[in-house]
Amino acid sequence: MDRARVGLKDVARLAGVSVKTVSNVVNGYAHVTTATRTRVEAAVKELNYRPNLSARNLRQGRTGIIALAVPELDVPYFAELAGLVVACAEERGLTVLIDQTGGTREREQLVVEGFRAHLIDGVIFSPLALTPEDLAGRLDDTPMVLLGERVYPGSADHVVVDNVAAAREATLHLAGLGRRRIAAIGAQDDVAAETSRLRLAGYRDALEEAGLPYDDRLVVPVETYRRADGARAMAALLDSGLAPDAVFCFSDPLALGAMRTLLERGHTVPGDVALAGFDDIEDGRYVTPTLTSISPDKRALARQAVDLLADRMSKGSQDVAREVRVAYRLAIRESTNG
């Protein structure tokens, strides 16, 4: 028997009722006699009937699917976030479909243009390379919530972390340990690299506040925020002879890469060099030394994003874009506190 072709009306015929009644039962509507209900349920089971979601979606004008667009799933921060978003969405009966943008502007523009229009009811989007202009001319009216940065105020709902303040706090912590030559790993040349710019700003603020000079040779650019880049950047820093006594890394993987280089070359952490990261991924709590890191409330981030999106989906588009700020804290661990 080809089960793929069992429809509402097959069930109706078998149960001796109309399609409407079957539909009512399937959707759990109230006014159905217990007797009819039982009969219909039996027929459903016998035929192994499954509602065709495409048809339901077409009729209802919604799919119950939301997209989550992130740069890469194998970056732990995004993996953890994705897991949380999937879980939150499910609580609301929503299914999550994943887009990997690779952090490239081209693919991020596609997301903004709504290349999955009518398939998804909304999108949660963590952009990396997107510019304000890309957002400004947005035609697609699929509800969208942006994560991480206030890329373009007023254009969409945002869930943000105060990157400047957080970076400042991490750097001040390093300065507070008496470190004088505090390097930064994670600068990016790309004009669109908003995250990098904000964290760098916080770093500079902190230096100034601590009365330390800003030395741009201590600021190392990276291609991506991965471990390999952190390792490379740290090597460059050590080879430069500038002898930093602390490093603030703009992500945890960068910090873990840097830590690897330091330990590999026989330096101690935090003895010779104190190390702080950003994101508080699980790895950081199990390396030795454990990693001091800015810990954004990822659970809240995911929940707020889903809530905001769900609200937008039900209420329709209002003109006013909302911004929700999520808490963070500095988790001080062995890499600065050995």
Partner DNA sequence: CTGAAAGCGCTAACAG
Partner DNA sequence: CTGTTAGCGCTTTCAG
Residue 285 interacts, among DNA, a second copy, none and using kind-specific CB cut-offs from 5 to 8 Å, with a second copy
Residue 300 sits in the site that holds a second copy (CB under 8 A): no
Residue 5 sits in the site that holds DNA (CB under 7 A): yes
Report in angstroms how near the CB of residue 174 gets to a second copy at its nearest.
Answer: 21
Which residues in the 8-27 window bind a second copy by CB under 8 A?
none
**Interface mask toward DNA for 10-49; x: CB under 7 A:** ------xxxxxx-xx-xx--xxxx-xx------------x
Residue 120 sits in the site that holds DNA (CB under 7 A): no
Q: Of 36 and 95, which has the nearer Cβ to a second copy?
A: 95
Residue 264 interacts, among a second copy, DNA, none and using kind-specific CB cut-offs from 5 to 8 Å, with a second copy
Report in angstroms how near the CB of residue 105 gets to a second copy at its nearest.
Answer: 18
Which residues in the 227-246 window bind a second copy by CB under 8 A?
227, 231
Residue 114 sits in the site that holds a second copy (CB under 8 A): yes
Residue 97 sits in the site that holds a second copy (CB under 8 A): yes
Three-state SS for the chain is: CCHHHCCHHHHHHHHCCCHHHHHHHHCCCCCCCHHHHHHHHHHHHHHCCCCCHHHHHHHHCCCCEEEEEECCCCCHHHHHHHHHHHHHHHHCCCEEEEEECCCCHHHHHHHHHCCCECCECEEEECCCCCCHHHHHCCCCCCCEEEEECCCCCCCCEEEEECHHHHHHHHHHHHHHCCCCCEEEEEECCCCCCHHHHHHHHHHHHHHHHHCCCCCHHHEEECCCCCHHHHHHHHHHHHHCCCCCCEEEECCHHHHHHHHHHHHHCCCCCCCCCEEEEECCCHHHHCCCCCCEEEEECHHHHHHHHHHHHHHHHHHCCCCCCCEEEECEEEECCHHHHC
Residue 210 sits in the site that holds DNA (CB under 7 A): no
Contacting residues toward DNA, per CB under 7 A: 5, 7-9, 16-21, 23-24, 26-27, 30-33, 35-36, 49-52, 55-56, 58-61
Contacting residues toward a second copy, per CB under 8 A: 2-4, 48, 50-55, 57-58, 61, 63, 65, 72-74, 76, 79-80, 82-84, 86-87, 90, 95-100, 114, 116-119, 139-141, 227, 231, 256-257, 259-260, 263-264, 282-283, 285-288, 290
